[in-house]
Amino acid sequence: MKPPSTRTHARAAGALLTRQVLLSLSWYSSDIHRGIARYAENARWNLDLSSVHDSLLPARWGGDGILCTAGNSRAVDRRLLGYRRPIVNIGNNDAFPAPRVAADMDKVVKLAVEHFCQRGFEHQAYYICLGNRTELAKLQIFRQAVAAAGKAFYVIDCSSYSHEARLRQLQRQLGKLPKPLAVNAQSDDFAIEVIQTGLNAGLRVPQDVAVLGCNDDRLICPFTAVPLSSIDNNLEGIGYEAAALLDRLMQGETPPAGAILIPPRGVITRQSTDILAIADQNVAAAMELIKCRYRQPLKAQSIASELQVSYRTLHSAFVRYVGHSMAQEIRNRRVEYAAGKMVNSSVKMQNIAWESGFLTLSHMVRVFRQTKGITPGAFRRAFGRTGR
């Protein structure tokens, strides 16, 4: 095996490298790369990065396995398959005939729709930028999810236009659609187009147009004209699991029957969606009160008393506009806060429970499992950045 060049990852000098793996990404993600690199370090792989930022593949390659984001170019796909090595495709493009690891789009879309429903948006749209296979597949999931939530759905399709014409068409459609409008986009890059185009048209973000991205690129989302809310798809976990699958394939294991789907971590809320678009003033006030005080001792009955409205009236209106009870909203916010602490810190579980507003650790464990279908300990092991 040749020694690694400056464009390869290798373990410490002198370590025995067991495999050479080609990393070919037609779209680059530092989080996916990080997840792969973490697995590669433990497995003592030599990562060939000569094609990591593009699809310029070597004419000949004699390594052991390939990790790629394929399905966008027939010529590139033929070259990858021509190497005749174990291969794993990363992402939601299912056009490439290889084992695949991807985000669970059903769960991603459910999070997005619930995020806007909880903020009272009756009108939700999906922005089609390129019109590729992945965008169109996600469109159908969005259409069904918004309809199931009883909200109005719109498609902002600008895929048949050149870049400048696309932005003009986007501006026209944003102007015509009813307000307040919630817009979902396939990626953070596309969501930023919506924000900037809306601002250029004199629309307020998020008051007129609330925008939600996907992938939560932390080098992008906090630094846009209006900081962008985004779904954390757990791209690092996707990269890690893709590498783990490739390792099993290189050892002769039979490929799985279908794609391995990785659930998202959750919605990272920033200014672009941080608003309530609820017509009922009592429900809006209750939601704002929960948002500010959910980590304190708080009950639905006390909210109604503080707002000087009957509990039965407020409860019925809250369920109508938000889709669940005030008590469930309090539990949801506590769980999401706890999940964020588990992912991004090494704070002990008992302390996380107290900080999140739960009276006891056992209470947090029970509610967390009911809400997310997984125990807090398993969640931290699966998604925690500090524990890996």
Tokens representing 173 are 């459609």
Give the CATH number of domain 105-233+267-273; options: 3.50.90.10, 3.40.50.620, 3.40.50.2300, 1.25.40.10. Answer: 3.40.50.2300
Please identify, in words, the CATH class of the domain defined by 281-383: mainly alpha
pLDDT (tens digit, 0 to 9) for every residue of the chain, 388 residues total? 333 343 445 444 445 668 999 999 888 889 999 999 999 999 999 999 988 887 788 888 889 999 999 988 889 999 999 999 999 999 988 889 999 999 999 999 999 999 999 888 989 999 999 988 889 999 999 999 999 999 999 999 999 999 999 999 999 999 999 999 999 999 999 999 999 999 999 999 998 999 999 999 999 999 999 999 999 999 999 999 999 999 999 999 999 999 999 999 999 999 999 887 777 889 989 988 998 999 999 999 999 999 999 999 999 999 988 888 999 999 988 998 898 888 778 899 999 999 999 999 999 999 999 988 889 998 888 776 544 4
Distance CA 358, CA 341 (A): 14
Res 346: pLDDT: 86
43: nearest Cα among 69, 20, 18, 67: 18
Whole-angstrom distance, CA of residue 126 vs CA of residue 186: 8
CB neighbourhood size of 126 (10 A): 24
What's the farthest any 2 CA atoms get from each other in the chain? 75
Strands 45-51 and 8-9: antiparallel
In the chain, which residues fall in CATH 3.40.50.2300? 8-102+236-263, 105-233+267-273
Strands (E) in 186-295, as ranges, are: 209-214, 229-232, 260-262, 266-268
Q: How many CB atoms lie within 10 A of CB 238?
A: 24
Whether omega before 206 lies within 30 degrees of 0, making that bond cis, reads: yes
Six token digits for residue 206:
């998020």
CB distance 117 to 111 below 8 Å: no
Complete DSSP assignment for 292-314:
HHTTSS--HHHHHHHTTS-HHHH
Q: Which residues of 178-211 are buried (b: 16+ CB within 10 A; e: fewer)?
A: eebbbbbbbbbebbbbbbbbbeeeebebbebbbb
> What pLDDT, on the 0 to 100 scale, is given for residue 228?
96
d(CA 193, CA 251): 44
Q: Where in the chain is the domain with CATH 1.10.10.60?
A: 281-383
DSSP assignment of 114-169, as one string?
HHHHHTT-SEEEEEESS--HHHHHHHHHHHHHHHHTT-EEEEEE-TTS-HHHHHHH
- C-beta separation of 168 from 158 below 8 A: no
Contact of 195 with 223, CB cutoff 8 Å:
no
CA distance 156 to 182: 12
Query: CATH assignment of 8-102+236-263, given 3.40.50.2300, 2.60.320.10, 3.40.50.720, 3.90.580.10?
Result: 3.40.50.2300
* pLDDT at 280 (0 to 100): 86
* pTM (2 d.p.): 0.76
For 15, the token pair is 């370590």
For the chain, the straight-line distance linking the first and the last C-alpha, in angstroms and rounded, comes to 29
Structure tokens at 2: 């040749």
Provide the token pair at 27. 């779209």
Question: Tokens at residue 178, please?
Answer: 């009813």
Phi, psi of 317 (to 5 degrees): -65, -40
- Give me the helix-helix angle, 326-344 and 311-322, nearest 10°: 60
